[in-house]
Amino acid sequence: MENQQKNVTRILILMAIMQFTNAMDFMIIMPLSVHLIPKFNINSSQFSMLVAIYAFSAFASSVSASFYADKFDRKKVLLAAYVGLVAGTLFCGLANSFSTMLLARCFTGIFGGLIGAQTLAIAGDIVPFERRGKAVGILMSGFSLASVAGVPVGIYLANTFSWHIPFIAIATIGFLLIPFCISIIPSVTAHIKSNDNGQNFEVYKSIVADKKQQGALLMMFTLTVSHFSIIPFIAPYMESNVGFTKNQLALIYLVGGAVTLVSSPLIGKLADKHGKFKTFFVLILFSFIPVILITNMPAIPIYQALIVTAFFFIFGSGRMIPSQAIATSVVGNKLRGSFMNINSSVMQLATGIASLIAGLIVTRSNSGTIFNYQWVGLFSVAMCIICIVVAFRLQKQINLK
């Protein structure tokens, strides 16, 4: 039993590293806005499109995957998506205009959107529910590692050499990781037997008939809209309005990633011990504070700003851990892969919508100062309140703590 748990932990850690490169590809474009906006001569709305097009293409691919994901070995689906992600990231590094970068982000999103769903589906299959919070915490640590190590290094490479270099570096790491993925991640095929005679629309019929699944998807949609309405403009706002230099922007991700690298596994354990819903409600309520502070922040000392952004990272990413664990519990093994692809697609759609809404609200002066970010903060809090109502109803339906 002990050896089996160690093997499962090794698989989860490897998938967390895969998530690291996936997160790096998605996250690095946001602090690179300070390079891409002047380089491509684009405005805030156009930059939002670079974030949103990834999300919308990921949404489309995840919806498509929901028809076939449970008909194949989860390992093969994950590896195919990861190879596509590596190729797309390299494509981003070679882009030389707004149009080619937009196309590259679209291509990358097609594959990047599948990876998170497959890792969660594999975790759901190999880890029992009572330990699943910890498992999701390990997977989420990939995002923390991207913040604490990847994004700061990426910003340094962009400032020192060129904005192309971070994407090329991520693609190189991903290429080197592929052989380990092939050898360590096991085939996960138990679900296929129960889907031999299944219909393509079975998962959609299940969702239509099950209010628990509907509630879980709505919870993840509102939570993601809230989170990603804030994210795209943190870096430009900190530079233009608070007083960060381009090099100091790396500190936001370094500090935020460092604290979540510790907090993510801890939150996973707390969710298992005290209940997923209880942990989720506490985290989402505390997340209101840094959201309002960030979006209304004046020019203040850098260390004070970093304290606020660190708490945003802790509570913002932390609330995703119990919510994802809850999402895996509303559907059985037979349809979990397809459902998690739909869940991923809903979150990607929410990311794109949130980015576009934030881009429409935020404006920039000729000097670069950002206006109306405070309204984005209020919008984020409003979406969180809706999410709390949905989650409270869901808790009653599935009778979990």
pLDDT of 124 strictly over 80: no
Lowest-pLDDT range of 49-58, 208-217, 236-245, 339-348: 339-348
370 pairs with which residues across the strands?
364
Domain housing 309: 2-185+200-398
The 3-state DSSP class for residue 319 equals coil
- Per-residue pLDDT band for 306 (boundaries 50, 70, 90) equals very high
Indicate whether 54 belongs to any domain.
yes
Token readout for 232 is 């795209």
Indicate whether 214 belongs to any domain.
yes
- Can you give the pLDDT at residue 86? 95
* Section 47-69 average pLDDT: 82
Which one is predicted more confidently, 171 or 351?
Answer: 171
d(CA 51, CA 34): 14
Token readout for 121 is 């589906």
Cβ–Cβ < 8 Å for 62, 138? no
d(CA 247, CA 193): 53
Residue 277's closest CA among 329, 226, 241? 329
Cβ–Cβ < 8 Å for 384, 391? no
- H runs (alpha helix) in 330-372: 336-361
**Percentage above 70 pLDDT, the chain:** 92
- Can you give the pLDDT at residue 197? 46
d(CA 267, CA 287): 14
d(CA 307, CA 290): 9
Indicate whether 217 belongs to any domain.
yes
One-letter amino acid for residue 79 of the chain? L
**Percentage above 90 pLDDT, the chain:** 37
Q: Using alpha carbons only, what angle is made at residue 142 by residues 76 and 1, rounded to the nearest 5 degrees?
A: 70
Please tell me the total count of domains within the chain: 1
- Can you give the pLDDT at residue 171? 95
DSSP type of residue 332? -
- Per-residue pLDDT band for 73 (boundaries 50, 70, 90) equals confident
d(CA 15, CA 332): 22
d(CA 355, CA 364): 16
Going from the C-alpha of 159 to that of each of 32, 46, 172, 245, 281, the distances in angstroms are 9, 22, 19, 11, 40
d(CA 49, CA 56): 10
φ, ψ for residue 128, nearest 5 deg: -65, 155
- Can you give the pLDDT at residue 4? 65
- Per-residue pLDDT band for 191 (boundaries 50, 70, 90) equals low
pLDDT of 317 strictly over 90: no
Cβ–Cβ < 8 Å for 79, 184? no
Indicate whether 195 belongs to any domain.
no
Residue 159's closest CA among 256, 27, 249? 249
Confidence (pTM): 0.75
Per-residue model confidence as pLDDT tens digits over 144-156 = 677 677 888 888 8
Indicate whether 190 belongs to any domain.
no
The domain that holds 160 is classified in CATH as 1.20.1250.20
Q: How many CB atoms lie within 10 A of CB 116?
A: 28
pLDDT of 398 strictly over 50: yes
Indicate whether 91 belongs to any domain.
yes
248 Cβ neighbours under 8 A, 6+ residues apart: 302
d(CA 330, CA 372): 38
d(CA 341, CA 190): 18
Token readout for 94 is 């070679």
Q: Using alpha carbons only, what angle is made at residue 108 by residues 160 and 18, rounded to the nearest 5 degrees?
A: 80
- Can you give the pLDDT at residue 200? 56
Indicate whether 119 belongs to any domain.
yes
The 3-state DSSP class for residue 225 equals helix
φ, ψ for residue 38, nearest 5 deg: -70, -35
One-letter amino acid for residue 99 of the chain? S
Indicate whether 292 belongs to any domain.
yes
